[in-house]
């Protein structure tokens, strides 16, 4: 791998309270960051160094980490094929994403198990985003809040089933979305925490007291805030109220202007703070493709004007790209770009325990970064120090 030094524009390091350098440099050698600072980085150059000079109004940020993504660009995790994972991994750098959790959907157990085995067997190719684990969404959810999860495959939370999947995944399951009010919900949460996986409350009809019980049992996150859950009411806070009030819970946000009204995004951010918000896409196969007919978990999905729905109008994932989520977060809430970047990079990396190598720009970490224009478009993305997105003649 070549030594590279990026100069010429702004640089955001990504961690809480992160630095923003107006004229910064980023040095990478053998796929790892060696230095970050102000200036031209001349001390980190040699005759083999590739110099990357970006526009003065562009900004270098850490590669984004998407902990909730089902598919995109014509592929879906539940396709259970190497080609599907490779399609996703090869295309995600175009939106600035350099690491992601391959996310399953409620389905037949054998299909979920095949998807898990497919992810475990997958070997990352050069110049593509890295699959850093699995997010198991369902089947341990509440049928009354199923959203686009297939009803016929929903089951009660089961530690024995989960143990089988944990063993099958060889440590790659980082997050499980479940309904804590269902029988054995507390036992499942406690087991997941013992295995290093995050129990994330979602597709749940829990009341506030059940949310408190879930936290006591180990729940530490809420899946796609406001969606697929008992909503906030002045006589019963529900899942949404619990998510906002309980300090132990971080929240996922789909900031596409469809799943959540912009002012409700702002409310969630103000209530939880930057450190407890995780930007996700929850995207499905149609991302990056024209409007039309697609599928999600064996169900027909229609995509019109960026809105993915089942035949009954139920939202069925998104076609959101992560760089757009970052730009929308700034526009909807008035947060700084530094804060939005933290919510899309450092926070998710920390949540799934990979912040020692990903999520921010610091010496010793993986050379994952993206370069954004002032409008939020992606100019280039590098994964482990290799260009994964950007025209060959751009630099």
263 marked as binding residue: no
Q: State the Cα angle at 243 between 242 and 246, rounded to 5°.
A: 65
Q: Which of 35, 27, 38 is nearest to 5 (CA)?
A: 27
Contact of 286 with 294, CB cutoff 8 Å = yes
User: Which distant-in-sequence residues (6+ apart) come within 8 Å of 213 by Cβ?
Assistant: 180, 186
Contact of 69 with 296, CB cutoff 8 Å = no
316 marked as binding residue: yes
109 marked as binding residue: no
Active site residue 282: yes
63 marked as binding residue: no
Of the CA atoms within 13 Å of residue 46, those in its CB half-sphere come to: 5
DSSP per residue over 143-159, as a string? GGG-TTS-GGG-----H
* 355: three-class secondary structure by DSSP: coil
Cα-Cα-Cα-Cα torsion 71, 317, 229, 257, nearest 10 degrees, comes to 130
285 marked as binding residue: no
| Range list of H helices, the chain | 82-91, 109-121, 159-169, 185-194, 208-217, 238-245, 262-272, 322-333, 337-344, 346-351
User: Which distant-in-sequence residues (6+ apart) come within 8 Å of 190 by Cβ?
Assistant: 217, 218
259 marked as binding residue: yes
317 marked as binding residue: yes
Catalytic one of 250, 282, 355, 368: 282
For residues 250 and 154, give the distance between their C-alpha atoms in angstroms, rounded to a whole number.
Answer: 25
228 marked as binding residue: yes
315 marked as binding residue: yes
For residues 133 and 117, give the distance between their C-alpha atoms in angstroms, rounded to a whole number.
Answer: 12
Cα-Cα-Cα-Cα torsion 246, 247, 253, 257, nearest 10 degrees, comes to 70
Task: Give the residue numbers of the binding site for Zn(2+).
Answer: 137, 203, 224
Q: Which residues are catalytic?
A: 282
Task: Give the residue numbers of the binding site.
Answer: 137, 148, 203, 224, 227-228, 235, 259, 315-317
Task: Give the residue numbers of the binding site for substrate.
Answer: 148, 227-228, 235, 259, 315-317
């Amino acid at each position: 791998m070549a030594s590279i030094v990026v100069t010429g524009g702004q640089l955001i390091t990504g961690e809480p309270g992160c630095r923003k350098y107006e004229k910064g440099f980023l040095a990478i050698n053998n796929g790892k960051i060696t230095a970050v600072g102000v200036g031209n980085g001349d001390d980190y150059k040699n005759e083999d160094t590739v110099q990357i000079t970006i526009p003065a109004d562009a900004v270098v940020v850490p590669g984004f980490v998407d902990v909730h993504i089902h598919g995109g660009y014509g592929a879906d995790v539940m396709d259970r094929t190497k080609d599907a994972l490779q399609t996703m991994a090869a295309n995600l750098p175009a939106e600035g994403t350099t690491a992601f959790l391959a996310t399953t959907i409620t389905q037949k157990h054998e299909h979920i198990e095949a998807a898990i085995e497919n992810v475990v067997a997958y070997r990352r190719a050069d110049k593509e985003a890295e699959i850093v684990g699995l997010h198991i969404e369902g089947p341990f959810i509440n049928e009354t809040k199923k959203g686009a999860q297939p009803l016929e495959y929903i089951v009660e939370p089961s530690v024995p089933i989960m143990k089988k999947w944990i063993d099958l995944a060889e440590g790659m399951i980082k997050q499980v979305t479940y309904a804590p009010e269902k029988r054995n919900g507390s036992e499942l949460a406690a087991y997941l925490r013992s295995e290093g996986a995050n129990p994330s409350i979602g597709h749940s009809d829990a009341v506030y007291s059940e949310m408190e019980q879930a936290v006591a049992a180990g729940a530490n996150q809420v899946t796609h805030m406001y969606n697929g859950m008992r909503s906030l009411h002045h006589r019963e806070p529900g899942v949404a109220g619990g998510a906002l009030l309980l300090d132990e819970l971080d929240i996922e946000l789909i900031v596409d202007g469809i799943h959540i009204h912009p002012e409700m995004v702002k409310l969630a951010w103000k209530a939880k703070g930057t450190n407890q918000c995780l930007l996700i896409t929850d995207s499905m196969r149609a991302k990056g493709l024209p409007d039309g007919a697609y599928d999600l978990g064996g169900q027909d999905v229609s995509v019109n004007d960026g809105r993915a729905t089942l035949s009954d109008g139920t939202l069925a994932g998104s076609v959101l790209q992560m760089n757009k989520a970052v730009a929308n977060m700034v526009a909807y809430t008035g947060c700084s770009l530094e804060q939005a970047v933290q919510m899309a990079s450092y926070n998710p990396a920390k949540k799934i325990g990979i912040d020692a190598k990903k999520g921010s720009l610091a010496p010793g970490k993986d050379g994952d970064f993206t370069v954004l224009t002032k409008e939020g478009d992606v100019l280039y993305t590098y994964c482990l120090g290799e260009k994964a997105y950007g025209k060959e003649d751009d630099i």
